[in-house]
Amino acid sequence: MKKIFAIIVALAVTAALAISAFAGIDALYADVNVYQKNPGFVSDTTVKINPGQKLYILGWFASHGKSCEKVVWFLDGAEKECSDNYRDRPEIAALDAFKNQGFVAEDFTKAGFGHDTVDQGGMMELLGVDTLPDGTYTVSIKGKYTDGSYETLKTDFTLQVGEGAPATDKDYIIVPQSNLTDGIWLQTNGQWVGVEFTTTAPFSRVSVPSTWSSRKDANRECNVVLKLYKFEYNAEYTLSKDPVKSFTYEIESDGVPVCMLDLGESVAAGTYIFTVTVEGEKLTGDFKNNDNAYLVLDHAPEGTDTSIVKYLNTDKTFCLTVKGDIVEGEFVVANPADTDAPQQGGDDPVTPPTTGDASLVIFVIAAVAVALVVLKKRAF
């Protein structure tokens, strides 16, 4: 829950933004009731647990003019209860960024759900998860207001209970998540950032967290375009080619969409570039009329060594998670050095032969044999 303070700081310096509601889920864990300073399963579209395991969450939600009633979760469409451990946050309403928008202390009654430590009461449990039999379920998590409306905390995801299959892949947190106080604000049409990374094993998903964005219900909608490119020669040449995969979605609600590109199937180990671009007529970069759209990518924690990756079109860092095969040793290694690329539209450069190419070896042997015959004839 410390993240909320960073969010408030960011809001204090951007008081011109008109915000009617906010929501976020900081962590989702299985059988862990203490905040580990990482999001856990928050960005996963499939969560696998064993029978008898529990799920715990930590986060916040509020809306101006509404009263928070409780957090609920949905199992195959049926509403379920959570444990009763909330936190009032009336001090947030006193900050200028909220006070200027009309927020009052009552807006933040029961705004926080769960606690960082067991002594404080622990994280919030999704009641009944530990009684589910083996099977596959559709689950979502929402904040509920007293007027019956909801705030989405985590959209539909698949909960797989049992089946006992050992994990073959996992989420590798390459650059950990901190907060958005010094994050990257994408707020003009076509603005983009990218990251180059190299894996030692196949992977099937790339994601970066975004815990702050404009909202569709406030008429500030925009599209987020995610693309993955196979690296060739250098970044400029790579981005001139077609991506391996791309996905576009519309921001529905603040804090809900993690910028996640699911590849559907694994791609080979190697060097890739992942880009995030915002598009839409509301991305004007002008907050004067309180109608500008924006997306904020979380900044990496201070002191994090990000030299293992290379950021593009930004002098800041942002977080990165890659879901890939479980390997012994390092999953991500340093990117290769850039090399000269062919002229656009020209022929690709000739790749130096390697002795590992069997057909080339045969060709070389044949060429040597011909040369020896010619030399032998000349000798006589």
Residues 6+ apart with CB under 8 A from 299: 178, 179, 180, 181, 182, 183, 184, 316, 317, 318, 319
Query: What tokens does 156 get?
Result: 């539909």
Q: What is the 3-state secondary structure (H, E, C) of 243-284?
A: CCEEEEEECCCCCCCCEEEEEEEEECCCEEEEEEEEECCCCE
Q: What is the mean pLDDT of residues 107-113?
A: 89
How far apart, in whole angstroms, are the C-alpha atoms of residue 6 and residue 54? 29
- For residue 181, is pLDDT > 70? no
Lowest mean pLDDT among 5-9, 213-217, 346-350: 5-9
**What pLDDT, in 10s, does the model give residues 257-282?**
568 899 989 999 999 999 999 998 88
**Pairing outcome for strands 46-49 and 150-161:** parallel
**What pLDDT, in 10s, does the model give residues 160-177?**
998 765 678 888 989 987
Q: In terms of pLDDT, which residue wins out, 3 or 244? A: 244
pLDDT band at 21 (very low <50, low <70, confident <90, very high): low
The pLDDT of residue 270 is 98
- For residue 355, is pLDDT > 50? no
pTM of the entire structure? 0.58
The CATH topology of domain 167-341 is Jelly Rolls (2.60.120)
Query: At residue 3, what are phi and psi to the nearest 5 degrees?
Result: -60, -30
- For residue 221, is pLDDT > 70? yes
Span(s) in the chain for CATH 2.60.40.10: 1-165
Q: Compute the mean pLDDT over every residue in the chain, rounded to the nearest whole number.
A: 80
- In CATH terms, 1-165 corresponds, of 3.10.129.10, 3.30.420.10, 2.30.110.10, 2.60.40.10, to 2.60.40.10
How far apart, in whole angstroms, are the C-alpha atoms of residue 138 and residue 68? 24
pLDDT band at 350 (very low <50, low <70, confident <90, very high): very low
Query: What tokens does 50 get?
Result: 């064993």
Query: At residue 26, what are phi and psi to the nearest 5 degrees?
Result: -80, -30
Span(s) in the chain for CATH 2.60.120.260: 167-341
**What pLDDT, in 10s, does the model give residues 78-91?**
999 999 999 988 88
* Range with top average pLDDT, 20-34, 72-86, 178-192, 206-220: 72-86
Query: 259-271 burial, b for 16+ CB within 10 Å, e for fewer?
Result: bbbebeeebebeb
Query: What tokens does 144 get?
Result: 């509920």
pLDDT band at 358 (very low <50, low <70, confident <90, very high): very low
